[in-house]
Each structure stands twice: as structure tokens, then as C-alpha cells.
Structure 1
Amino acid sequence: MSGRTAKSSQPWSWWNQVPVSRRKLLQLGSLGLGGMGLTLPRLLASDATGGQRLGPSLADNCILLFLNGGPSHLDMWDMKPNAPEGIRGEFQPIATSVVDYQMCEHLPRLARQAHLATIVRSMNHTVNNSHAAAVYASLTGHDRGEQGGGTKSTDHPSLGSIMARLRPTAANVVPHVCLPYMTKEGAGGPPQPGFFGGFLGSSLDPLFVLKDPNAPDFRVPELTLQNEVSADRLTARRRLFETADGSVAQGPSASKEMSRMQARALDLLTSEHTQRAFRLTDESDATRDSYGRNIYGQSTLLARRLVEAGTRIVTISWAPDANATWDTHGSNFATLKNTLLPQFDSACASLVSDLAERGMLERTIVAVLGDFGRTPRINANNGGRDHWNFCYSVMLIGGGFQQGLIHGTSDTTGAFPASHPLVPGDIISTIYAALGVDPTTDIHDLFMRPYRVVPAGEIAPNLLIRRT
């Protein structure tokens, strides 16, 4: 069964096409306030749905683990042990909890969770050179080809930015968080696109948490009162603000937006609920150890705490710059074996287990994406693999995605899809659908110009379960 479906003029017609699961689901910026010097990102004016089509949802939240740089599908999800030498690689496949499906030996914990996952082995898009363009396509579904460079105000917004607009969170909750890096396009380069508010405006940028959650002194300055500002002073400022708010509400739209942003800032700064979400020291040593005592493991644990506190979307970009981690042009096997795969296996598997034990997995999507895959042919740079956009893999767990589904196949060398190909827009559209947003509907930029939620792509209903 193909992942693509014909478009329909009826919104949510996909809902009745979703097959019943074969297994039962687990039961499982800156803002000044009267000279006080308080700081928050400009993400706080995000409470208008604008009349977009919202529908039935399978999920409330999404944690997006973005393996920035291009993870090797051939050495993780789609191994080719019978391929010729120079293609099959150094790692051995191991059995998983899905019959006849194997995974890399260095992902043992995820192999035992494969029965919970949808794994797509037939992804492809048009970008092979520019990480920035491939990241942007993978995160937004806007495949505009090899357009490198940094962010633009005309970029398509991120998943978190659109969700913050269409399905806003409570006032005392940060709607969208990115951590632990604002990934650069190469060391010292500009930030990659795809993580920001784009044409929706910078008020819908995420809260970037750029401190190491593994550090003993971890804190989030943007959500912390400065030393000279007491809680009593902030309370007095709130009373003054509320008194003035009635007259502001009668003013121009810009004033009203600023009013909403100031109110949101005050809510967050005085919210014990929000402050507690960032308090990793509340977790047991055993839990923290299971995720991995490194920046990515603890960022993943923090992501779980944030969605538990009500944050809608958390994105973890697994690299300080595009070439730093998963971009394994050289020493692919050594880097994967010694660092990347053990860290990823611990963090992702612990997240899935933790969500399941807390009864949250059914309503939380864990999406493991990357910008592209790696070449079938191993290069001479100490056993590296280069960029490969023609075929790669992604994994989705929870939040309404099928359990134990291995969608699509690649050819004998993992070079091209052999069946049921999908593109990033299909995956992003399906995530939106699970979150209750029609990906074909329009959103409007700051000048009220309409844009489709996902520029190109279709819901793949066979990836989803039917909610009964």
C-alpha cells in the first residue's frame, strides 16, 4: 500500500482511510517591561488560530529528534548485509522486536522497541549538497532545491511556530522550544532555516535553550528574574500592567499584540509550573544516567519534562553546526560506533520508555528525522560516507503512528526507493494531521497573504492508526 493518497476537496477525508492498527496501542528574544530588564524571546504573541481548519487529533505534542548532518540509513535502519564489500559497511545487523526486520547492532535498545515504531525506508528529496536547504525541506516540507544560506523572513515557518499559532498552549507554558543549539550551516556560519517563525514573524520563533542541560549550573536566563528584580516587585508590576491593560485593549493592533506579549512574559516569569519543567535536578540519578550524561541525552530528558508541562513542540537539533556530528564524510564507522549511536540509542530509547511508563506515548509523537542519508559507496576518507538525498530513513513512534510498521523498501544497495516512496512534505503533513491540523489549509503571513501549512506533500494515512 502506497504512502501517498489522492487529494480530496474534503478536509480530513484521510481520517476514514486510516487502517486499524494490528496491535493495541500502549496504555500507556527580548522584551522590556517598564525598564525592568526582563528578557524573553519574541515568541509570546502566539494565541490566534485565524480560522484555520482544525480537526480530530491523535496527538497533543511532538518531540522532534533531528539528527542534523545526515545520519547513515545504511548503518542504522536499512542495513544491507548481502551487498558487496565497500557498500555493506562494518556493522552487523541484529534482530528486532518486529519479525524479519533488522537494525544496527549499536542500537540494541531501539531494536527492542521496534514493535512500537513506524520506520520509513523510502524517503527522498531533491537536495544533495546544501545542509541548510535539506534541513529546511525536512523540517517544513518546503523542498526548494539547492538554496543554501541562512534564514530569511520569507522562509516557511517551523512545525512549532505553526502549532503555536494554530493550537496555542496555556499562558504559563512555553509553546515551542529548540535545544541545545541554534545549529549553524558550518562552523561560524549562519543559522540554518527551518527552526524559526519565518513569514509568521519573529514573535513565533521558538525559545532557544542554548545552555548545556548536562552542566551542573544549568539554568535558562530567559526565564529567570534578574537579581535586582524581586518577586514582590514583579507582582506590583503585574497589578500596574493589569490596570493599564483595559485602555491598551482599545488601542491599535500593535499595542494589543505588545500587551499580549507582556502578559505572557509575566505569566512565564512568575510560573512555578514553567520553572519546574527546567529543573532537571528533580530527576533521579538513575533516570538521568539512562538518557546519557551528555548534552544530547539530557536535552532529550528535558524535552520529556517540557511536554509533560504542556509544551506543544520540542525540537532537538543534534549538532552545533552542520558538519559536527552526523555529517560523517570521514570516519563514519568509528564516529557512529564510539559516540553517535550509543548516545542516540540511550536518549531515544529512554525517552520512549519514559513516555510509555507515564502514559504519555499515546499522545506524544517522537519523530526521528535527518536532512538526508549517506552514500551506499564507502569513500576512502577513513571509511566515510557522503551526502545522499535519493534514499534515506526516518522513524516515528507514538502519537497515533502505527506500531511495528516498516514502510517502503530501498533497492539492494540502499541507493533508491524500491517501493512506496515518500518525501519530507508527506511526513510533515502526516505529523500535522496527527496533531489535528489540516496541512492543506492556509495560514497567513504578517500582510495577510495566504500560504498552505505544508507547501507540498500529502498525508500518508497508512502510517497512522484509527482512533476509536
Structure 2
Amino acid sequence: MLRILGHSSTACDGLSRRDLLRAGSLAALTAALPRSARASGGAGPPARAVILIDLFGGPSHIDTFDPKPAAPPEVRGEFGTIPTALPGVRFCEHLPELARRADRFCTIRTLSHGYNSHNPYAVMTGYTGGQDQVDYYSKPTNHPSIPSICQYFGVGRGTQMPGYVMLPAFPGYSQGLRRAGPYGGYLGSAFDPVFSTCAPKWSREVNADRDFYDHTLQAMGEPDLPKPEGTITLDALDRRRTLVSQIDAQAAQVAGTRGMVDSRRRAFELLMSPGARRAFDVGREAPAARDRYGRDLFGSSVLLARRLVESGVTFVTVHTEAKASGHWDTHSNNFKMLKHLLLPFLDRAVSALIDDLRDRGLLDSTLVMVQGDMGRTPRVNAAAGRDHWPQCGFCLLVGGGIKEGCVHGKSDKSAAYPVDHPVTPGDLAATVYHLVGVDPEGTVPDHTTRPIPISHGGRVVTEILTRPS
């Protein structure tokens, strides 16, 4: 069952359809301009696919991958630490599977920026100059996502599978809004992702406000295939495609509809593709594999990401978000949320993904990234929580040209600030571009045709690469 969702007549930030069409006209105009970045030459890019796992809300770096056991109790928190596969490197005691695999991935402990916001704008674009007053919600003038820019330069396009898929739904789905970051922005809707839908279930009725920090709740279920509204047979869908094609042919003559027509075409191609339907069917996996990843919403999404990459999708993003559980915004009840809910599903699913990609021969050509919108404050607050702290956080990277067993950067004694080798979201964006074969120094035209640097001032983190040059 496939469902392709579009924007309503009025965007969540109040933009009218006229505004959207105007932005679409500019995007159509700029699409014809000469492109300023080219795929990198040489032996070919090491990463043929990218899986980005976005831990929405901001995971605590101190209580995960950068513990400070010698710090005072109000800083180090309630958790102990355990040794990892890397001598002298310790993780939180509730991450045993990832600790055993620490020699297979790179741990960045100095992800630092100033964008204190709960959306994936910085994570997905590398841009950290946003302001919530204007950049919190998705709109046509946003900077495009990294996968959108890669598709603009031809990476991930031209196959029967979509080049860019977002799971388990668009960020903000559980609150009825669309957060900025994952879209084509001023490049146009033709570079938006295909995203699934989901309807998480719990064992009892949930109150989103009262149960926001309830560590006993878990979002169960799995992403739904993008599907048409209502019940419809494939024959009826094919007839509808013919009708829509006629309408789109007329609409294509109107300035500003180029991206919309292309998106509709890609949607129907996906709907009619047996290969796409098989790839989205997590139920085809063996029960042992389902159990290994976890049968919750997060585990099913990560497993589906592997299936999609194996089927030819180039970019897959998994965003954690669900009412009452699944988020990492632990202002309260931080330690119980982490111990009983968040860390177990992270440890289980990401370690399963690493093993699965390796066993299938896909790890060397697939870049996996795990990060959040920010870190958490070094000092525990009065509600046994940690507050926002974008000045220091973590990112895990594995496969696709990344050194194994690498710990990059060191934070100070309370994990408040980087001591050396700070890494920005722009640096991560530049690194991804380099690994997939896009020139990190390139530019794209914005909605006013100005050339905008795609890495937003970031530089490739060469120290963590197997092939630095």
C-alpha cells in the first residue's frame, strides 16, 4: 500500500499556494542554470548509499558515547561506564552491543554548533544559521537537504527506485507540523524525498502531554508504504495515472509546476513498481531478523532502511519521533527514559544494522550516520533531566569510506565544549558530499538565483576517512 503525501494549500508557516507556485517558478528557472559542482573524479566515491539516523530531540552525549566518570555526580549522572572494543575508550553501561562494535565505527565526540532548535534543519542541510522565527517549519525558501542536493547533481537519480526515502514519516508528523530540513527547499519539490507514513500504537491510551516522559511506553508498529487515499486496485490506480498524466501535461505548460509534475510522475512510478512494493515489505524478513532489530517503530524503520538500500535506494533517513515516546528531548526523567527505552532500542537496532550490512557485503559501500539535533547540558537539572546544549554532542559514522575504530575529538572534563577537533554540521555535510562523489566546494542557486555554497562553510573531516584525498 503506497501513499505519497503532498503539501496542503497553505503551508504550516502561513505561505499561500501562490507563494509556493512563485517559489516553484524560481526553482524551475534555476534548474536550467549551469551547475557549479561536479562529481569528484579518481577511483570513484566510496559510498554508493547513505543511511542517516536522526535522533530527534537531542540525545545526551554524556550518558551515551562521551561519559565523564570522574566528574561530580551532578555532571556524570546516574550511569556507570563499560569498556569498549577500543582500549581506553568507554561508553555508557547501557550500550553493550555498540561497545563491542566500537572498533568498527568512528565516534565523533565534538559535534558543536549554535543552532538550538528542535528540527533537523542543521542535521539535514549542514546550515546552522537558522532562527526558529523563520526556519522552524518547512518552506520553499529553506536550504535544501544534503540528499536533495546530491540528487540535483545526479547522485541517486535515474533508477527505478526512488533516490531519497524518509522514514517512518515526515519530521513533525506526530504534532501535525512539518519541520524544516529534509526537503528540496529552493531547488524545488522535484528533489523532495518520498516518505512513508506510520500510525504508532501503544498498549494503552496515551496523553501526549502527560505521558511525554513516560519511559514505560514504546511506539510499536512499522512504517507504512506510501499509499493512495482510500482503497483502490492497481488497475484503478493505473487508470488514475493516465488521467493525472493528461492533467499534468496541461499543467506543465504553466510556469512553476515542473517540480510538482516530476514529483507526481515519480510517485506513480513507485506505486506501480513491484520491486518497490517488495522492498517496503518488512514482513518478508525472517522473524529472527525482525527480533534482532526490534519490532518497535524504530527497529522496523532501521530494518526497512537496510532493505531499501539493498534494493537500490541511495539515501534513506530515519527520524525518531512519536507522541509520548521515541523522542530524545529529555528535560525530565532523563535516566529512566534512556535506560528503559531509548538506549536499548538504539543499541539493538544500530548494532543489528552494522552487522547486517557487513554480512551482506554492503557496509563498505554504505555510509551510516547516527546523530541528533544537539547534545544535553552537562549539569543534571532538578527534574532529573538535561536541557538543550548544542555546544557539544556526538555523531557515529560507519562504512562508506570511514575509518574503523576512530575516536575523533575530545571534550572538556564536563563534556561542555570541545577541547580539540570541533566538528560542525557543515563539516559533516562536506564529508558526506565528498564520500558520495559531489564536490564539497560546489554551489547551487537559491530562489533568487544566488549561488549558495552547499557545505555552508564546512570542510571535509579528512582525519576520519580511509582515503583522505
Please report the TM-score for the alignment, with normalisation by the length of structure 2.
0.80
1:216 Cα deviation (Å)? 7.0
Structure 1 residues 189 and 254: CA distance shift in structure 2, 3 A: closer
Q: Distance in 1 between matches of 2:222 and 2:180?
A: 30
1:341 Cα deviation (Å)? 0.2
What does residue 75 of structure 2 align with?
87
Structure 1 residues 270 and 101: CA distance shift in structure 2, 3 A: same
Which of 137, 148, 152 is matched with 1:161 structurally?
Answer: 148
Structure 1 residues 98 and 153: CA distance shift in structure 2, 3 A: same
**Conserved 8 A contact 1:63-1:303:** yes
What does residue 111 of structure 2 align with?
123
1:219 Cα deviation (Å)? 3.8
Instruction: Give the letter aligned to residue 430 of structure 1.
Output: T
Instruction: Give the letter aligned to residue 238 of structure 2.
Output: L
Which structure 1 segments of 5+ residues have no match? 1-28, 32-42
Are positions 1:138 and 2:123 aligned together? yes
Which of 63, 82, 92 is matched with 2:51 structurally?
Answer: 63
What does residue 271 of structure 1 align with?
273
Q: Distance in 1 between matches of 2:432 and 2:321?
A: 23
1:49 Cα deviation (Å)? 10
Q: Distance in 2 between matches of 1:241 and 1:131?
A: 38
What does residue 177 of structure 1 align with?
165
Matches within 5 A, 1:309-348: 309-320=311-322, 325-348=327-350
What do the CA deviations read for 1:184-224 (whole angstroms, capped 9, x no partner)?
39x746322111111112232212212159977964243x5
**Conserved 8 A contact 1:93-1:102:** yes
Structure 1 residues 197 and 231: CA distance shift in structure 2, 3 A: same
Q: Distance in 2 between matches of 1:268 and 1:350?
A: 28
**Conserved 8 A contact 1:63-1:365:** yes
Matches within 5 A, 1:240-279: 260-261=262-263, 263-279=265-281
Q: Distance in 2 between matches of 1:216 and 1:83?
A: 40
Q: Distance in 1 between matches of 2:261 and 2:52?
A: 31
Q: Percent identity?
A: 39
SS of equivalent to 1:131: coil
Q: Distance in 2 between matches of 1:343 and 1:50?
A: 45
**Conserved 8 A contact 1:68-1:319:** yes
Are positions 1:284 and 2:286 aligned together? yes
Q: Distance in 1 between matches of 2:71 and 2:468?
A: 40
Are positions 1:364 and 2:369 aligned together? no
1:60 Cα deviation (Å)? 1.0
Q: Distance in 1 between matches of 2:242 and 2:176?
A: 40
Structure 1 residues 347 and 126: CA distance shift in structure 2, 3 A: same
1:334 Cα deviation (Å)? 0.6
Q: Distance in 1 between matches of 2:319 and 2:362?
A: 22
Answer with 59-68 or 197-206: which moved more.
Answer: 197-206
1:365 Cα deviation (Å)? 0.8
Are positions 1:101 and 2:89 aligned together? yes
What do the CA deviations read for 1:300-342 (whole angstroms, capped 9, x no partner)?
1011111111111111111137996211111111110000000
SS of equivalent to 2:379: coil
Instruction: Give the letter aligned to residue 189 of structure 2.
Output: S
Structure 1 residues 255 and 338: CA distance shift in structure 2, 3 A: closer
1:241 Cα deviation (Å)? 6.5
What do the CA deviations read for 1:30-74 (whole angstroms, capped 9, x no partner)?
69xxxxxxxxxxx9x9x9996431114110111111111110100
1:386 Cα deviation (Å)? 1.0
What does residue 412 of structure 1 align with?
413
1:265 Cα deviation (Å)? 3.7
SS of equivalent to 1:74: coil
**Conserved 8 A contact 2:221-2:296:** no
1:396 Cα deviation (Å)? 0.5
1:372 Cα deviation (Å)? 1.0
What does residue 393 of structure 1 align with?
394
Instruction: Give the letter aligned to residue 196 of structure 1.
Output: Y
Instruction: Give the letter aligned to residue 220 of structure 1.
Output: L
Q: Distance in 1 between matches of 2:60 and 2:416?
A: 12
SS of equivalent to 2:395: strand
Are positions 1:147 and 2:132 aligned together? yes
What do the CA deviations read for 1:214-272 (whole angstroms, capped 9, x no partner)?
977964243x5975554487289669979x99x99x97886876765554344322211
Q: Distance in 1 between matches of 2:184 and 2:144?
A: 5
What does residue 21 of structure 2 align with?
none
Which structure 2 segments of 5+ residues have no match? 7-23, 201-218
SS of equivalent to 2:54: strand
Answer with 52-61 or 313-322: which moved more.
Answer: 313-322
What does residue 215 of structure 2 align with?
none
Structure 1 residues 258 and 292: CA distance shift in structure 2, 3 A: closer
**Conserved 8 A contact 2:156-2:164:** no
Structure 1 residues 145 and 269: CA distance shift in structure 2, 3 A: closer
What does residue 209 of structure 1 align with?
196
Q: Distance in 1 between matches of 2:321 and 2:419?
A: 31
Matches within 5 A, 1:20-59: 29=4, 51=35, 52-55=37-40, 56-59=44-47
Which of 205, 230, 234 is matched with 2:238 structurally?
Answer: 234
What does residue 14 of structure 1 align with?
none
Please report the TM-score for the alignment, with normalisation by the length of structure 1.
0.81
Structure 1 residues 48 and 114: CA distance shift in structure 2, 3 A: farther
Q: Distance in 2 between matches of 1:153 and 1:230?
A: 33
1:137 Cα deviation (Å)? 1.9
**Conserved 8 A contact 1:171-1:264:** no
Q: Distance in 1 between matches of 2:425 and 2:221?
A: 38
What does residue 199 of structure 1 align with?
186
Structure 1 residues 105 and 49: CA distance shift in structure 2, 3 A: farther
SS of equivalent to 2:74: coil
Are positions 1:303 and 2:305 aligned together? yes
Are positions 1:451 and 2:452 aligned together? yes
1:364 Cα deviation (Å)? 0.6
**Conserved 8 A contact 1:64-1:367:** yes
SS of equivalent to 1:86: helix
Q: Distance in 2 between matches of 1:298 and 1:193?
A: 24
**Conserved 8 A contact 2:301-2:318:** yes
